[in-house]
Amino acid sequence: MAFPDITPDLRAAAPELRGRLLANQDLAGVTWFRVGGPAQVLFTPADEEDLAYFLSKLPADIPVTVIGLGSNLIVRDGGIPGVVIRLGGKGFAEITVEPGDRLRAGTAVPDVKVARAAADASLDGLAFYRGIPGSIGGALRMNAGAHGGETTDVLVEARGVTRKGEIVTLKHADMGFTYRHSAESTRDIIFTSALFQGRPGDRETILAEMDRVTQAREAAQPIKERTGGSTFKNPDGGKAWQLIDAAGCRGLRIGGAQVSEMHCNFLINTGGATAADVEGLGEEVRRRVKDNSGFELQWEIKRLGLPA
């Protein structure tokens, strides 16, 4: 389906806009599942100031959705109404090493690049980002973690833009981090950069740790498939993959979507899946796990947009 084109009105309201504003843009191609409908409007700001200007001019009744690398995301088949903002380009992709064993990164930077930049600067403590298939923006939003480390362990502060176009800086305590979650008070902020605290380390030792993380992922996870990464959060007192396996869901299929045979907390698009197939499979897994064990799995993957 196609949404009404509101880009002429948005351009008229923000005549000094420098970023790219496009109507009815496909989003399936930018998600790792390769499923889903279009964005009514896709906005790619030139830099933080451009983003702030756009938001300050955007009518309050138009919804805003932010997507990053699309790794931990299902866009539903009906697409996303309103404005979808995707940060990219030089304005949000810089990495700088700062005094005091600190590293600053734009939120469009892939997590793996932050791990590598830290290693090259002999900064220890950030190697766990090698195992997270996303960008720094998503890591802030979800307190992303892997292999014994979490974003909350290393974040000093995050910078962003509010829905009203105000540029703000949030200290670690303002983020309200819990397991795979940040505070609701941050929900109207689009993060633009983050400052991390590392510690002095040996480059070769850090690179060896990153290689270990890489090998562990390749051995245990279907990283070469069309997948969205870890699907469900680990509940208190259990591991999601074990609960899914015990419920007989390994290899379970709906349409073109399948529970991975390699790691059953991963869903994969085997080819031709719709977003409804993927989400429906996830809900069926949740139902079977609840019936089998009493655990109610919570989605870790974000689901956005309208059904077909």
Catalytically active residues are: 180, 230, 300
- The conformation of residue 260, written as its DSSP 8-state character, comes to -
Give the angle subtended at the CA of 159 by the CAs of 156 and 163, to the nearest 5°.
Answer: 140
User: Residue 306 class from Cβ within 10 Å (0-12 exposed, 13-18 middle, 19+ buried)?
Assistant: middle
Q: Please, are residues 269 and 35 in contact by the beta-carbon 8 Å criterion? A: yes
**What is the helix (H) or strand (E) element at residue 150, kind and residue range?**
strand 149-150
- The conformation of residue 78, written as its DSSP 8-state character, comes to T
What whole-number distance in Å separates Cα of residue 111 and Cα of residue 133?
7
What whole-number distance in Å separates Cα of residue 41 and Cα of residue 8?
11
Q: Which residues pair with 192 in a beta bridge?
A: none
User: Residue 152 class from Cβ within 10 Å (0-12 exposed, 13-18 middle, 19+ buried)?
Assistant: middle
